[in-house]
Amino acid sequence: MPAPHGLPRDDLRGSAKQSPDTVGKYCGRFAPTPSGPLHLGSMFTALASFLQARSNQGQWLLRIDDIDTPRVATGAADGIKRTLEHHALYWDETEFLQSQGAEAYEQALQQLDADGWLYPCSCSRKDLATLPRSNSEPAVYPGTCRNTNRSRKQPHALRMCTENIAVKACDLLQGPQHWDIERECGDFIVLRRDGIVSYHLATVIDDWRSGVSEVLRGVDLLESTPLQIHLQRLLGLTSPSYLHVPVIANRQGIKLSKQNLAEAVDDSNPSITLIQLLTLLKQRPPEELRSAHPEHILDWAIQNWDVTQLTGVKMIETN
């Protein structure tokens, strides 16, 4: 993979552990935020990404997305690793902490800024709260500060210009997608007012540094894809393929999440949890596997993994 202008590959890797050359090889990842324990919905995505990687004889990496420090809960990262290990979901290499990538993120910001894609935005939360919204969708930023030459000496965020930008992609489960970023998303933040790099920029850089060839994540993040592809293009980075699996919801159709107080995964009987997850993944595990060890369950699941069972599915309800 050629290094983009201004972002030499060795420098981007920074202090992170060097990965083997992954060109032509499958490399997937699971990237939880350590804001609390894993719940059934996050384990659903973890297992799907693990099986997708292992069935392709590829690597499966663990990245702890801890860059949003106000959301980080003490001990959560260790708890996440313990839960994965209890379920025999062993990752390759040493887990990467997103908080270790500051130097690489700064390089990317400097390049985008030098190329004229960024501008300071001094809009307050109160200003943004008044923007029109459609149903539960987030408001589209109208470019208020785009052409105003705001001073960078006052508190501000940095936004990415999306004027006349359109992105097409084919999601391996959700099908062809097309986005008019300016109309549907608006100019988005890449550096917050508090100095924290945005999820979109950090994810793009981290996936590239790790050699991730396919991003498998929940369909609730599908709308992040055009923003990340836009950044990849501007930074000269090769885009991975994308595969967005369904989210898990309760009987009321509400997505399981930490914000909705979803229960933590019970580590006491990992075999039962794995069977439940495989059933939700529409893999039809045989009854005799219920009493098997987690490693044996995963052996069966890798051999029989069929991600196409989830084609077009956006939500799966559970009891």
**Alpha carbons 15 and 204: distance in angstroms, whole number:** 17
119 marked among binding-site residues = no
Tokens of 142: 């109208």
Residue 33 annotated as binding?
yes
145 annotated ligand-binding residue: yes
Known binding residue 199? Answer is yes
Give the whole-angstrom CA distance, residue 56 versus residue 60: 10
Q: CA 45 to CA 32: how far, in whole Å?
A: 10
d(CA 244, CA 246): 7
On whether 121 is known to bind a ligand per the annotation, the reply is: yes
Asked whether residue 65 is marked as a ligand-binding residue, the answer is yes
Q: In whole angstroms, what is the distance from residue 195 CA to residue 157 CA?
A: 8
- The answer to whether 258 is annotated as binding is yes
Question: Is 258 strand, coil or helix?
Answer: coil
Round to whole Å and give the CA distance between 200 and 177. 18
Q: Judge whether 141 is annotated as a binding position.
A: yes
User: 59 with 21: CB under 8 angstroms?
Assistant: no
217 is known to lie in a ligand binding site: yes
Task: Enumerate the known binding-site residues.
Answer: 29-33, 65, 121, 123, 141, 145, 199, 217, 258
Residue list for the binding site for Zn(2+): 121, 123, 141, 145
Return binding residues for L-glutamate.
29-33, 65, 199, 217
Binding residue positions for ATP: 258
